[in-house]
Amino acid sequence: MNYTKEQILARCNEFSKNTLMETLKIEYIDAGEDFLTAKMPVNPSVHQPMGLLHGGASVALAESVGSAASFFFINPKEQEVRGIEISANHLKSIREGYVFGTARIIHKGRSLHLWEIKITDEEGNLVSLCKLTNMVLDRKIV
């Protein structure tokens, strides 16, 4: 990556405006050479009917952070990223507080990026373990 941590976080938080990430109140909070971390509040707006964090909200966090992370490994003037597969194992329930999604690169190819995203609670307990595959496409010039 050729960006500073501050540039990465500012860019991610900026391009989240008026999107699902803003609706879910996802905020990018940490970045490094091979990872990106975002947090999301757990409250009734992301609960399923039994008052627990909805698995779909966890997957939305995972795909958001993994897709954003891929963006920093491409040339955005010539390429774009599309998520093509995501899987999730939900391991622990949570009713309130924050969850943190940390995407770490497993494979960085020219056309595919594979990410592992660990979603943890405020105590560091693993809530969900996700795997995301992103495809890198050439940007079509219009």
> Is the confidence at residue 33, as pLDDT, over 80?
yes
Compute φ and ψ for 49, nearest 5 degrees.
-55, -20
Into how many domains does the chain fold? 1
Residue 22 has a pLDDT of 96
Reported as a pLDDT band with limits 50, 70 and 90, residue 140 is confident
Taking residues 122-134, report their average pLDDT. 98
> Is the confidence at residue 109, as pLDDT, over 70?
yes
Residue 88 has a pLDDT of 98
Report residue 118 as tokens: 């660990």
51-67 pLDDT per residue, tens: 999 999 999 999 999 99
Q: Closest Cα partner for 111 from 131, 132, 133, 130?
A: 133
Q: What is the average pLDDT value for the chain, to the nearest integer?
A: 95
Residues belonging to the active site: 63
Q: Residue 37's domain is classified under what CATH number?
A: 3.10.129.10
Residue 2 has a pLDDT of 75
pTM of the predicted protein model: 0.94
Domain, as residue range, for 30: 5-138
Sheet holding 126-138, edge to edge: 27-32, 35-42, 97-108, 112-120, 126-138, 79-90
Reported as a pLDDT band with limits 50, 70 and 90, residue 1 is low
Residue 117 has a pLDDT of 98
The Cα 63–Cα 58 span in angstroms is 9
Reported as a pLDDT band with limits 50, 70 and 90, residue 71 is very high
